[in-house]
């Protein structure tokens, strides 16, 4: 399952009441198949806008996006989401009125690829494989925040997507839970390699997870720097204190801080 | 939330706890727990206080115009009498005849209001064009008090029974539509996007996302609608009925049979309470996932 993502000169202008807010402009970078790419930037830099165009929730006003050569966004392409591009949402989107098993197995059933029984068998297998057995018959509301996130990742993987899109998925978690779920994601990534497009404003998270970190500037969002981390896999939390990690962190922190300050000042201007 | 809840090793112990809680869900058990709980005890105290107030104001001190009301003791005596002064008590067929005709009217009107109101509300929430088309009409008709509909309905709908049912229906219908619509609109955009990404068809989205997602609001609407049903039932029975509890409340007032009047008022209150409690029970059953989310009931 390939999943090479190519973003060419992507731009988006929102026009609420003729205000012409440029959310992002001239974004160009490639993610080769099975690479883990993390986009970092301050709030309001267009990260989510970019992810929504890749997901097919929203169109572009300029530029194009290709997935394995197929044009999925751009002029004349109507935005259309699909199981090839699975999204893990910021606040989680497991259907709370369905059991965990239903949630995990629903994709292949709805796409007509499997019968309900087949999908459920596969869901149980996958959940067992990643250490989530025993919660299949519970409702998402009965799970902890960390469990919910892991189940949602498994639900996405059940659809065998070309690319996994993650929109600040661990934002609402406390620090301890967050590190547990990050390691879970890395284990899953090592076991089932996928192209991952991950958004965060947490630089430590970005470097810990990524092969490639894309730093975005504040509004209008543009690509400020692309850094290959070159850190070895498999990774665990001991990486966080390694000299190589700290060197990267130092290098990127300055960039991010500069953008955050710009965003902050712009915000002050807007409020003034 | 303990951080080690996230350790997959102890997931199974957590699920055992939850299954145990699950087996507690029988109606009898819940009733027993409710009766022994503080809510019930305070409820009894509250009602006892209300009755004491009634007894003191009317039976004992006869303060001002309270003297003209039927006393608590005489009302209860009438209610349980085998040979009631005004011909209505727990032991007369008359009593049950009126209860029956009111209950059937409310039942028919409520089922119609739910059966039509929920689909219309879903459609309004789901389809922008339909919402654009119908929302102004809803907002125009909804605020008109149900009493103002009485003449139109009497002119329009033939027969004696049908107008009452139509009026009772109307009150619940608007509330049900509005709450269903709000329920659909309240569904987090992420769920709809997730459904699209997962490859749900429109029909599957409606069935698995929109309907269950709107259900909490729908049930709030049904409860308000049920109360509205009883309200407009009494109003329409007073105006055009020949039977029913509302009709009897007015008749007994007219003939100054105040004990019977209060008996029917009390019965209306109990019926209203019972019908809403039934709805809540049905809602709890359909939305077990919510009980789980709110920490179990």
Answer with the residue of higher pLDDT: A264 or A150. Answer: A150
Q: What is the CATH number of the domain that holds B264?
A: 1.10.3720.10
In a domain, residue B15? The reply is: no
**Under 8 Å between Cβ of B46 and B38:** no
**Bridge partners, A12 (sequence order):** A24
How many domains does chain B divide into? 1
Q: Is A176 on the interface with B (CB under 8 A)?
A: yes
Answer with the residue of higher pLDDT: B34 or B151. Answer: B151
What mean pLDDT is predicted for residues B29-40? 83
Contacts of B15 in chain A (CB under 8 A): 134-135, 138
Torsion (CA) A95, A170, A71, A227 in degrees, nearest 10 = -170
Q: Is the pLDDT of residue B5 over 80?
A: no
H or E element in which residue A128 lies: helix A116-129
Q: Tokens 């990267």 appear where?
A: A248
How high is the ipTM of this complex? 0.90
Test B212 with A83 for CB contact under 8 angstroms: no
Sequence-distant (6+) residues with CB within 8 A of A120 are A101, A105
Q: How far is CA B235 from CA A205, B98, B149, B167, in A?
A: 65, 15, 11, 9
What mean pLDDT is predicted for residues A200-217? 90
Contacts of B215 in chain A (CB under 8 A): 97
Question: Chain-wide mean pLDDT for chain B?
Answer: 87
Structure tokens belonging to residue A122: 């596969």
Structure tokens belonging to residue A159: 């659809």
Test A81 with B208 for CB contact under 8 angstroms: no
What is the three-class DSSP state of A171?
A: coil
Contacts of A92 in chain B (CB under 8 A): 190
pLDDT digits (tens, 9 = 90+) for A97-114: 999 999 999 999 999 989
Q: How far is CA B65 from CA B24, B69, B70, B76, B220, in A?
A: 50, 7, 11, 20, 38
Q: Which of B154, B10, B267 is nearest to A143 (CA)?
A: B10
Question: In a mutagenesis test of the A interface, which of B2, B7, B8 is the best target, namely the one with the most A β-carbons within 10 Å?
Answer: B8
pLDDT digits (tens, 9 = 90+) for A245-258: 899 898 888 888 88
Structure tokens belonging to residue A174: 């406390």
Closest partner residue to B293 (CB to CB) among A141, A176, A180 is: A141
Q: Which residue of A has its CA nearest to B205?
A: A110
Test B12 with A96 for CB contact under 8 angstroms: no
Predicted pLDDT at B25:
58
Torsion (CA) A131, A136, A141, A143 in degrees, nearest 10 = -20
Whole-number Å distance between alpha carbons of B294 and A263: 38
Test B198 with A174 for CB contact under 8 angstroms: no
Question: In a mutagenesis test of the B interface, which of A102, A123, A142 is the best target, namely the one with the most B β-carbons within 10 Å?
Answer: A142
Give the distance from CA B207 to its chain's centroid.
25
What is the three-class DSSP state of A86?
A: strand
What is the three-class DSSP state of A268?
A: helix
Query: Domain spanning A21-92+164-271: which CATH class is it, in words?
Result: alpha beta
Predicted pLDDT at A1:
63
**Under 8 Å between Cβ of A186 and A230:** no
Q: How far is B10 from chain A (nearest CA, A)?
A: 10
Residues in B lying within 8 Å of A, measured between beta carbons: 1, 3, 5-8, 11-12, 14-15, 18, 188, 190-191, 193-194, 196-201, 204, 208-209, 212-213, 215, 287-290, 292-294
In a domain, residue B118? The reply is: yes
Structure tokens belonging to residue B151: 């003449």
Q: Which residue of B has its CA nearest to A131?
A: B8
Q: How far is CA A260 from CA A21, A201, A254, B276, B286, in A?
A: 19, 10, 10, 54, 47
**For chain A, what are the domain ranges?**
21-92+164-271
In a domain, residue B83? The reply is: no
pLDDT digits (tens, 9 = 90+) for B121-137: 999 998 999 999 999 99
Q: Tokens 């947490």 appear where?
A: A202
Per-residue confidence band for B23, with pLDDT thresholds at 50, 70 and 90: very low
pLDDT digits (tens, 9 = 90+) for A162-203: 999 999 999 888 988 998 899 999 999 998 889 999 999 888
Q: Is A78 on the interface with B (CB under 8 A)?
A: no
Structure tokens belonging to residue B139: 């907002």
Rg (CA), chain A: 19
Closest partner residue to A83 (CB to CB) among B197, B212, B294 is: B197
pLDDT digits (tens, 9 = 90+) for B58-109: 999 988 888 889 999 999 999 999 999 898 999 999 999 999 999 999 999 9
Q: Is the pLDDT of residue A41 over 90?
A: no
Whole-number Å distance between alpha carbons of B247 and B88: 14
Per-residue confidence band for B3, with pLDDT thresholds at 50, 70 and 90: very low
Whole-number Å distance between alpha carbons of A39 and A43: 12
Contacts of B290 in chain A (CB under 8 A): 96-97, 141
Residues 201-260 on A with a CB inside 8 Å of B are: none
Q: How many CB pairs under 8 A join A and B?
A: 112
Predicted pLDDT at B166:
95
**Under 8 Å between Cβ of B147 and B228:** no
In a domain, residue B113? The reply is: yes
Contacts of A55 in chain B (CB under 8 A): 193, 197
Test A111 with B289 for CB contact under 8 angstroms: no
Predicted pLDDT at A269:
65
Q: Which of B206, B213, B226 is nearest to B287 (CA)?
A: B213
Structure tokens belonging to residue A252: 């990127």
**Bridge partners, A212 (sequence order):** A37, A228
Contacts of A159 in chain B (CB under 8 A): 198-199
In a domain, residue B71? The reply is: no
Quickly count: other Cβ atoms within 10 Å of residue B103's Cβ.
Answer: 17
The alpha-helical segments, DSSP class H, found in chain B are 11-22, 27-36, 38-54, 72-79, 93-126, 128-141, 146-156, 161-185, 189-197, 202-205, 211-240, 245-254, 258-286, 288-293
In a domain, residue B38? The reply is: no
Q: Is A62 on the interface with B (CB under 8 A)?
A: no
Answer with the residue of higher pLDDT: A22 or A98. Answer: A98
DSSP A217: P
Quickly count: other Cβ atoms within 10 Å of residue B250's Cβ.
Answer: 18
Residue B180: burial class (beta carbons within 10 Å; 0-12, 13-18, 19+)? buried
Q: Is A111 on the interface with B (CB under 8 A)?
A: yes
Q: Tokens 């003939």 appear where?
A: B255
Q: How far is A265 from chain B (nearest CA, A)?
A: 31
In a domain, residue B34? The reply is: no
Q: Tokens 């119908």 appear where?
A: B134
**Bridge partners, A36 (sequence order):** A196
DSSP A240: G
Residue A104: burial class (beta carbons within 10 Å; 0-12, 13-18, 19+)? buried
What is the three-class DSSP state of B83?
A: coil
**Bridge partners, A165 (sequence order):** A87, A197
Angle at B94 between CA B89 and CA B97, to 5 degrees: 120
Q: Is the pLDDT of residue B20 over 50?
A: no
Per-residue confidence band for B296, with pLDDT thresholds at 50, 70 and 90: very low
Predicted pLDDT at A77:
82
Give the residue numbers spanning the domain of B207: 96-293
Helix/strand/coil percent split, chain A, to 5: 40, 25, 35
In a domain, residue B21? The reply is: no
What mean pLDDT is predicted for residues B184-206? 94
Test A135 with B198 for CB contact under 8 angstroms: no
């Amino acid at each position: 399952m390939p999943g090479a993502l190519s973003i060419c000169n992507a731009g988006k202008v929102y026009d609420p009441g003729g205000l012409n807010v440029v959310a992002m402009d001239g974004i160009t970078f490639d993610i080769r198949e099975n690479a883990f790419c993390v986009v970092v930037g301050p709030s309001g830099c267009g990260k989510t806008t970019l992810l929504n165009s890749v997901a097919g929730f929203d169109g572009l006003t300029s530029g194009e996006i290709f997935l394995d050569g197929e044009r999925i966004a751009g002029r004349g392409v109507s935005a259309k989401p699909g199981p090839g591009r699975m999204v893990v949402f910021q606040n989680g989107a497991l259907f709370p009125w369905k059991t965990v098993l239903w949630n995990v197995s629903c994709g292949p059933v709805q796409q007509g690829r499997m019968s309900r029984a087949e999908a459920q068998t596969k869901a149980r297998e996958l959940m067992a494989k990643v250490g989530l057995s025993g919660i299949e018959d519970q409702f998402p509301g009965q799970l902890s925040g960390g469990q919910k996130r892991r189940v949602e990742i498994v639900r996405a993987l059940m659809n065998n997507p070309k690319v996994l899109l993650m929109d600040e998925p661990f934002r609402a978690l406390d620090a301890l839970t967050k590190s547990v779920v990050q390691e879970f994601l890395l284990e899953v990534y090592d076991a089932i390699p996928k192209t991952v497009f991950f958004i965060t404003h947490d630089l430590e998270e970005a470097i810990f997870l990524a092969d490639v970190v894309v730093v975005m500037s504040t509004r209008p969002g543009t690509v400020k720097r692309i850094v290959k981390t070159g850190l070895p896999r498999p990774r665990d939390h001991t990486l966080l204190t390694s000299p190589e990690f700290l060197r990267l962190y130092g290098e990127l922190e300055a960039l991010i801080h500069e953008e955050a300050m710009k965003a902050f000042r712009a915000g002050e201007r807007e409020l003034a | 939330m303990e951080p080690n809840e996230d350790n997959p090793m102890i997931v199974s112990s957590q699920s055992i706890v939850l299954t145990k809680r699950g087996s507690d869900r029988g109606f009898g058990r819940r009733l027993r727990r409710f009766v022994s709980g503080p809510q019930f005890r305070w409820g009894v105290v509250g009602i006892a206080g209300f009755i004491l107030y009634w007894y003191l104001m009317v039976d004992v001190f006869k303060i001002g115009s309270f003297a003209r009301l039927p006393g608590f003791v005489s009302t209860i005596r009438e209610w349980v009498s085998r040979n009631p002064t005004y011909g209505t008590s727990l032991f007369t067929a008359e009593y049950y005849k009126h209860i029956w005709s009111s209950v059937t009217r409310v039942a028919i009107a409520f089922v119609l209001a739910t059966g039509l109101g929920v689909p219309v509300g879903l459609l309004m929430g789901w389809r922008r064009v339909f919402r654009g088309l119908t929302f102004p009409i809803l907002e125009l008709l909804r605020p008109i008090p149900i009493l103002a509909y009485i003449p139109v309905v009497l002119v329009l709908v033939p027969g004696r029974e049908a107008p009452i049912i139509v009026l009772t229906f109307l009150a619940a219908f608007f509330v049900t539509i509005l709450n269903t619509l709000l329920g659909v609109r309240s569904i987090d955009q992420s769920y709809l996007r997730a459904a699209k990404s997962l490859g749900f068809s429109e029909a599957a989205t409606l069935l698995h996302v929109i309907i269950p997602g709107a259900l909490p609001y729908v049930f709030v609407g049904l409860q308000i609608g049920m109360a509205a049903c009883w309200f407009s039932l009494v109003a329409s029975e007073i105006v055009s009925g020949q039977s029913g509890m509302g009709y009897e409340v007015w008749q007994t007032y007219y003939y100054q049979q105040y004990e019977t009047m209060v008996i029917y008022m009390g019965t209306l209150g109990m019926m209203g309470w019972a019908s809403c409690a039934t709805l809540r029970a049905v809602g709890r059953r359909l939305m077990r996932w919510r009980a789980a989310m709110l920490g179990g009931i």
